[in-house]
């Protein structure tokens, strides 16, 4: 059996007294699109941020392509923090896309995409920019390379952010509600880029409220509620016959808002 792209074991995350994630167990197979859905405050974004090591798990372990992320935990639950350079190396195997884009405003689109190549991979400037252009072309923005983020629309900014996350050629892409800050007209262009990535066989973990996208592109749907992973399975199973009462209730609210047309 092959090693899963991401394996999450007994993951717990607490902020002070409150437990945000409780005993999460999940495997994300290579080359699959895995969507995390659930109501606000269910912990789905925190889970994704743990995968990017933007949040440090309280206990449990995450492996990326079999390599421990941040901490190594043995069978007895003893934990050891890994050295900083090892953490950085594992982090570059994943690319992160944020809800708020988080482009650097003082750099052009090309600068944003080529920066990590120059700094982290020590690629010479000309070659870094050439490789950055390849990524910008992929998201359809090669003619916006010289533009600053403030000169781009929200959808274009998010596509630049995707190109930036792709620059180091990660094996896995993480998306944290990538279309939530966009108006409906601009959502489509970002989802299309994500569809293209999925069809190329990129492993993707997507936190999303776009139930339509999850149903059509997702190959594994995980439903979180109050910090627990209530259900995980293929979309047909989850949307066609939601057996869990909480999931049924959650999906009903989407159907109420007109998403029934998608079904």
Q: How far is the CB of 87 from another protein (least distance, A)?
A: 9
Q: How far is the CB of 120 from another protein (least distance, A)?
A: 5
> How far apart, in whole angstroms, are the C-alpha atoms of residue 198 and residue 65?
18
- Give SS3 for 210: coil
Residue closer to another protein (CB basis): 180 or 260: 180
> How far apart, in whole angstroms, are the C-alpha atoms of residue 146 and residue 196?
24
> How far apart, in whole angstroms, are the C-alpha atoms of residue 53 and residue 8?
13
Residue closer to another protein (CB basis): 2 or 85: 85
Contacts of 205 (CB under 8 A, 6+ apart): 6, 28, 34, 35, 36, 48, 51, 172, 173, 174, 175
CA atoms within 13 A on the CB side of 225: 12
Q: How far is the CB of 89 from another protein (least distance, A)?
A: 7
Residues 231/244, Cβ–Cβ less than 8 Å: yes
* Radius of gyration from C-alpha coordinates of the chain: 19
Q: DSSP characters for 157-196?
A: HHHHHHHHHHTT--SEEEEESTTTTS-HHHHHHHHHHHHH
Q: How far is the CB of 241 from another protein (least distance, A)?
A: 37
Q: Which residues bind another protein (CB under 8 A)?
A: 52-54, 88-89, 91-92, 94-96, 98, 100, 102-106, 108, 115-116, 119-120, 146-148, 150-151, 161, 164-165, 167-168
Residue closer to another protein (CB basis): 168 or 191: 168
Q: How far is the CB of 150 from another protein (least distance, A)?
A: 6
Residue closer to another protein (CB basis): 64 or 247: 64
Q: How far is the CB of 175 from another protein (least distance, A)?
A: 12
Residues 35/221, Cβ–Cβ less than 8 Å: yes
Length of the chain: 263
Residue closer to another protein (CB basis): 98 or 213: 98
Residue closer to another protein (CB basis): 113 or 211: 113
């Amino acid at each position: 059996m092959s090693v899963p792209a991401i394996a999450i074991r007994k993951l717990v995350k607490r902020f002070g007294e409150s437990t945000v994630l409780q005993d999460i167990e999940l495997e994300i197979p290579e080359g699959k699109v895995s969507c995390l859905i659930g109501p606000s405050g269910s912990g789905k974004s925190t889970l994704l941020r743990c995968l990017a090591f933007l949040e440090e798990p309280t206990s449990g372990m995450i492996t990326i392509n079999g390599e421990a992320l941040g901490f190594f935990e043995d069978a007895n639950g003893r934990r050891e923090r890994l050295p900083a350079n090892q953490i950085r190396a594992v982090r570059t195997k994943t690319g992160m896309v944020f809800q708020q884009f988080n482009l650097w405003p003082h750099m052009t689109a090309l600068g944003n995409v080529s920066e990590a190549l120059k700094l982290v991979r020590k690629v010479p400037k000309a070659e870094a920019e050439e490789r950055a252009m390849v990524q910008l072309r992929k998201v359809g923005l090669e003619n916006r390379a010289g533009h600053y983020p403030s000169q781009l629309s929200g959808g274009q900014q998010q596509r630049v952010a995707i190109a930036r996350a792709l620059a180091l050629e990660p094996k896995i892409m993480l998306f944290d509600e990538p279309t939530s800050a966009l108006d409906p007209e601009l959502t489509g262009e970002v989802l299309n880029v994500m569809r293209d990535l999925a069809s190329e066989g990129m492993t993707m973990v997507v936190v999303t409220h776009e139930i339509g996208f999850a149903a059509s592109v997702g190959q594994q749907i995980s439903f979180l509620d109050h910090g627990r992973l209530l259900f995980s399975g293929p979309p047909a199973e989850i949307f066609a016959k939601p057996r869990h009462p909480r999931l049924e209730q959650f999906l009903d609210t989407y159907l109420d808002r007109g998403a029934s047309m998608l079904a």
